[in-house]
Structure 1
Protein backbone atom coordinates (compact mmCIF):
# COMPACT_ATOMS: atom_id res chain seq x y z
CA UNK A 1 0.00 0.00 0.00
CA UNK A 2 -0.33 2.37 -1.71
CA UNK A 3 -0.87 0.74 -5.07
CA UNK A 4 -0.24 3.28 -7.84
CA UNK A 5 -0.89 2.68 -11.52
CA UNK A 6 -0.10 5.20 -14.23
CA UNK A 7 -1.68 4.68 -17.65
CA UNK A 8 -0.11 6.88 -20.32
CA UNK A 9 -0.23 7.26 -24.09
CA UNK A 10 2.61 5.71 -26.02
CA UNK A 11 3.10 9.09 -27.72
CA UNK A 12 4.29 10.48 -24.37
CA UNK A 13 7.03 7.91 -23.80
CA UNK A 14 9.88 10.27 -24.70
CA UNK A 15 8.40 13.29 -22.92
CA UNK A 16 7.45 11.69 -19.60
CA UNK A 17 10.18 11.46 -16.95
CA UNK A 18 8.64 8.46 -15.22
CA UNK A 19 11.36 7.75 -12.61
CA UNK A 20 11.40 11.37 -11.39
CA UNK A 21 7.59 11.50 -11.40
CA UNK A 22 7.38 8.30 -9.32
CA UNK A 23 10.01 9.54 -6.86
CA UNK A 24 8.19 12.83 -6.27
CA UNK A 25 4.79 11.14 -6.26
CA UNK A 26 5.95 8.78 -3.52
CA UNK A 27 7.13 11.78 -1.49
CA UNK A 28 3.71 13.43 -1.92
CA UNK A 29 1.87 10.27 -0.88
CA UNK A 30 4.02 10.04 2.25
CA UNK A 31 3.61 13.73 3.10
CA UNK A 32 -0.11 14.04 2.35
CA UNK A 33 -1.55 10.58 3.06
CA UNK A 34 0.87 9.37 5.74
CA UNK A 35 2.05 6.34 3.74
CA UNK A 36 5.38 4.72 4.54
CA UNK A 37 8.07 5.28 1.87
CA UNK A 38 8.94 1.57 1.36
CA UNK A 39 5.25 0.79 0.84
CA UNK A 40 4.90 3.06 -2.21
CA UNK A 41 4.75 1.01 -5.40
CA UNK A 42 4.16 2.48 -8.86
CA UNK A 43 3.73 0.68 -12.14
CA UNK A 44 3.49 2.36 -15.53
CA UNK A 45 1.34 0.99 -18.34
CA UNK A 46 1.87 2.34 -21.83
CA UNK A 47 -1.31 2.57 -23.90
CA UNK A 48 -0.99 2.32 -27.68
CA UNK A 49 -4.40 3.52 -28.82
CA UNK A 50 -6.10 6.71 -27.63
CA UNK A 51 -9.29 8.20 -28.99
CA UNK A 52 -10.73 11.45 -27.63
CA UNK A 53 -14.15 12.36 -28.91
CA UNK A 54 -14.19 11.86 -32.66
CA UNK A 55 -10.40 12.34 -32.98
CA UNK A 56 -7.87 9.57 -33.34
CA UNK A 57 -4.92 11.98 -33.62
CA UNK A 58 -3.50 14.88 -31.69
CA UNK A 59 -4.32 13.70 -28.17
CA UNK A 60 -2.39 12.03 -25.36
CA UNK A 61 -3.68 10.73 -22.04
CA UNK A 62 -2.25 10.18 -18.58
CA UNK A 63 -4.39 8.80 -15.77
CA UNK A 64 -3.01 8.07 -12.31
CA UNK A 65 -4.86 5.61 -10.04
CA UNK A 66 -3.87 5.63 -6.36
CA UNK A 67 -5.38 2.99 -4.09
CA UNK A 68 -4.86 3.43 -0.35
CA UNK A 69 -5.96 1.56 2.74
CA UNK A 70 -9.20 3.06 4.00
CA UNK A 71 -9.17 5.84 6.55
CA UNK A 72 -8.13 8.98 4.65
CA UNK A 73 -10.57 11.86 4.53
CA UNK A 74 -12.04 13.13 1.29
CA UNK A 75 -10.02 16.32 1.84
CA UNK A 76 -6.77 14.33 2.06
CA UNK A 77 -7.65 12.42 -1.11
CA UNK A 78 -8.44 15.69 -2.93
CA UNK A 79 -5.14 17.25 -1.80
CA UNK A 80 -3.28 14.20 -3.07
CA UNK A 81 -5.11 14.30 -6.41
CA UNK A 82 -4.20 17.97 -6.86
CA UNK A 83 -0.56 17.18 -6.04
CA UNK A 84 -0.57 14.43 -8.67
CA UNK A 85 -1.88 16.81 -11.33
CA UNK A 86 0.81 19.36 -10.46
CA UNK A 87 3.50 16.68 -10.76
CA UNK A 88 2.11 15.65 -14.15
CA UNK A 89 2.39 19.29 -15.30
CA UNK A 90 6.02 19.20 -14.21
CA UNK A 91 7.09 15.82 -15.60
CA UNK A 92 5.02 15.29 -18.76
CA UNK A 93 6.06 17.30 -21.79
CA UNK A 94 3.97 16.24 -24.78
CA UNK A 95 5.37 16.60 -28.29
CA UNK A 96 4.40 19.69 -30.26
CA UNK A 97 0.81 19.54 -31.43
CA UNK A 98 -0.42 17.02 -28.86
CA UNK A 99 -3.18 17.95 -26.45
CA UNK A 100 -2.52 16.39 -23.04
CA UNK A 101 -5.49 15.07 -21.06
CA UNK A 102 -4.31 14.40 -17.49
CA UNK A 103 -6.39 13.02 -14.64
CA UNK A 104 -5.99 11.30 -11.30
CA UNK A 105 -8.10 9.54 -8.70
CA UNK A 106 -7.50 8.34 -5.17
CA UNK A 107 -9.67 5.55 -3.84
CA UNK A 108 -9.81 3.13 -0.94
CA UNK A 109 -8.59 -0.40 -1.38
CA UNK A 110 -11.24 -3.04 -0.91
CA UNK A 111 -11.25 -4.54 2.61
CA UNK A 112 -10.24 -7.87 1.04
CA UNK A 113 -6.82 -6.44 0.03
CA UNK A 114 -3.90 -8.56 1.25
CA UNK A 115 -0.22 -8.71 0.34
CA UNK A 116 3.00 -10.54 1.13
CA UNK A 117 6.72 -9.97 0.61
CA UNK A 118 9.41 -12.62 0.33
Structure 2
Protein backbone atom coordinates (compact mmCIF):
# COMPACT_ATOMS: atom_id res chain seq x y z
CA UNK A 1 0.00 0.00 0.00
CA UNK A 2 -0.42 2.39 -1.69
CA UNK A 3 -1.21 0.61 -4.92
CA UNK A 4 -0.91 3.03 -7.85
CA UNK A 5 -1.86 2.36 -11.45
CA UNK A 6 -1.32 4.85 -14.25
CA UNK A 7 -3.09 4.17 -17.54
CA UNK A 8 -2.03 6.47 -20.35
CA UNK A 9 -2.00 6.92 -24.09
CA UNK A 10 1.23 5.65 -25.57
CA UNK A 11 1.43 8.71 -27.83
CA UNK A 12 2.26 11.19 -25.05
CA UNK A 13 5.69 12.28 -23.88
CA UNK A 14 5.55 11.34 -20.19
CA UNK A 15 8.38 11.51 -17.65
CA UNK A 16 7.14 8.45 -15.78
CA UNK A 17 10.15 8.08 -13.48
CA UNK A 18 9.98 11.73 -12.38
CA UNK A 19 6.22 11.48 -11.93
CA UNK A 20 6.51 8.34 -9.79
CA UNK A 21 9.21 9.91 -7.61
CA UNK A 22 7.20 13.09 -7.06
CA UNK A 23 3.98 11.14 -6.48
CA UNK A 24 5.63 8.86 -3.91
CA UNK A 25 6.99 11.94 -2.13
CA UNK A 26 3.49 13.47 -2.07
CA UNK A 27 1.97 10.25 -0.73
CA UNK A 28 4.45 10.25 2.16
CA UNK A 29 3.75 13.92 2.93
CA UNK A 30 -0.02 13.97 2.43
CA UNK A 31 -1.20 10.46 3.32
CA UNK A 32 1.55 9.33 5.72
CA UNK A 33 2.53 6.46 3.42
CA UNK A 34 5.88 4.76 3.92
CA UNK A 35 8.25 5.39 0.99
CA UNK A 36 9.06 1.69 0.62
CA UNK A 37 5.34 0.89 0.41
CA UNK A 38 4.71 3.09 -2.65
CA UNK A 39 4.37 1.02 -5.82
CA UNK A 40 3.42 2.43 -9.22
CA UNK A 41 2.62 0.52 -12.39
CA UNK A 42 2.39 2.28 -15.75
CA UNK A 43 0.26 0.85 -18.54
CA UNK A 44 0.62 2.50 -21.93
CA UNK A 45 -2.35 2.04 -24.24
CA UNK A 46 -1.67 1.51 -27.93
CA UNK A 47 -5.00 3.06 -28.94
CA UNK A 48 -6.94 5.91 -27.39
CA UNK A 49 -10.39 6.37 -28.89
CA UNK A 50 -12.21 9.65 -28.37
CA UNK A 51 -15.74 10.18 -29.60
CA UNK A 52 -15.94 9.59 -33.35
CA UNK A 53 -12.38 10.74 -33.98
CA UNK A 54 -10.04 8.46 -35.91
CA UNK A 55 -7.60 7.17 -33.24
CA UNK A 56 -4.78 7.44 -35.81
CA UNK A 57 -5.16 11.25 -35.68
CA UNK A 58 -3.86 11.29 -32.07
CA UNK A 59 -5.91 14.43 -31.41
CA UNK A 60 -6.64 13.35 -27.86
CA UNK A 61 -4.61 11.62 -25.16
CA UNK A 62 -5.63 10.20 -21.79
CA UNK A 63 -3.91 9.76 -18.45
CA UNK A 64 -5.81 8.26 -15.53
CA UNK A 65 -4.20 7.66 -12.13
CA UNK A 66 -5.80 5.29 -9.63
CA UNK A 67 -4.46 5.23 -6.07
CA UNK A 68 -5.61 2.53 -3.67
CA UNK A 69 -5.02 3.22 0.03
CA UNK A 70 -5.82 1.32 3.18
CA UNK A 71 -9.00 2.58 4.84
CA UNK A 72 -8.64 5.51 7.20
CA UNK A 73 -7.79 8.58 5.10
CA UNK A 74 -10.20 11.49 5.28
CA UNK A 75 -12.06 12.75 2.23
CA UNK A 76 -9.99 15.94 2.52
CA UNK A 77 -6.77 13.93 2.32
CA UNK A 78 -8.02 12.02 -0.71
CA UNK A 79 -9.07 15.27 -2.44
CA UNK A 80 -5.68 16.83 -1.73
CA UNK A 81 -3.98 13.77 -3.24
CA UNK A 82 -6.06 13.91 -6.44
CA UNK A 83 -5.37 17.63 -6.86
CA UNK A 84 -1.65 16.97 -6.32
CA UNK A 85 -1.71 14.18 -8.91
CA UNK A 86 -3.22 16.56 -11.47
CA UNK A 87 -0.55 19.16 -10.72
CA UNK A 88 2.15 16.51 -11.15
CA UNK A 89 0.68 15.40 -14.47
CA UNK A 90 0.81 19.01 -15.70
CA UNK A 91 4.50 19.00 -14.76
CA UNK A 92 5.48 15.57 -16.14
CA UNK A 93 3.39 15.23 -19.32
CA UNK A 94 4.74 17.35 -22.14
CA UNK A 95 2.30 19.60 -23.98
CA UNK A 96 2.91 18.74 -27.63
CA UNK A 97 0.64 21.55 -28.84
CA UNK A 98 -1.42 19.06 -30.85
CA UNK A 99 -3.28 16.56 -28.68
CA UNK A 100 -5.84 17.52 -26.06
CA UNK A 101 -4.81 15.85 -22.80
CA UNK A 102 -7.60 14.41 -20.66
CA UNK A 103 -6.05 13.86 -17.22
CA UNK A 104 -7.88 12.42 -14.23
CA UNK A 105 -7.13 10.89 -10.86
CA UNK A 106 -8.98 9.04 -8.18
CA UNK A 107 -8.15 7.79 -4.72
CA UNK A 108 -10.08 4.83 -3.38
CA UNK A 109 -10.04 2.71 -0.27
CA UNK A 110 -8.66 -0.77 -0.75
CA UNK A 111 -11.25 -3.44 -0.06
CA UNK A 112 -11.20 -5.19 3.30
CA UNK A 113 -10.15 -8.35 1.43
CA UNK A 114 -6.83 -6.74 0.36
CA UNK A 115 -3.82 -8.89 1.21
CA UNK A 116 -0.22 -8.93 0.00
CA UNK A 117 3.01 -10.82 0.35
CA UNK A 118 6.65 -10.11 -0.40
CA UNK A 119 9.52 -12.45 -1.05
TM-score, scaled relative to structure 2: 0.94
- How far the C-alpha of 1:2 sits from its partner, in A, is 0.2
* Residue-pair matches, total: 116
* Aligned-residue offset at 1:54: 1.9
The gaps in structure 1 that reach 5 residues or longer are: none
Identify the residue that residue 6 of structure 1 maps to in structure 2: 6
With the length of structure 1 as denominator, give the TM-score of the two structures: 0.95
Structure 1 residue 46, shift from structure 2 partner = 0.5
Q: Is the aligned partner of 1:116 residue 2:114?
A: no
Which one of 30, 38, 49 corresponds to residue 36 of structure 2?
Answer: 38
- Give deviations 1:44-102, integer Å, cap 9, x for gaps: 00011111222233000000000000000111000000000000000001433111000
Provide the C-alpha distance between the structure 1 equivalents of 2:111 and 2:10, rounded to a whole number of angstroms: 30
Q: Any idea what the Cα deviations from partners look like across 1:21-62, whole Å, max 9, x if unmatched? A: 000000001111110000000000001111122223300000
RMSD: 0.9
- Aligned residue for 1:11, secondary structure, equals coil
Alignment partner, residue 29 of structure 1: 27
Q: Secondary structure at the match of 1:38?
A: helix
Query: Is 1:100 aligned with 2:101?
Result: yes
Return the alpha-carbon distance in structure 1 between the equivalents of residues 62 and 95 of structure 2: 10
**What runs of 5+ residues in structure 2 fail to find an aligned partner?**
none
Ranges of 4+ aligned residues in structure 1 off by more than 6 Å: none
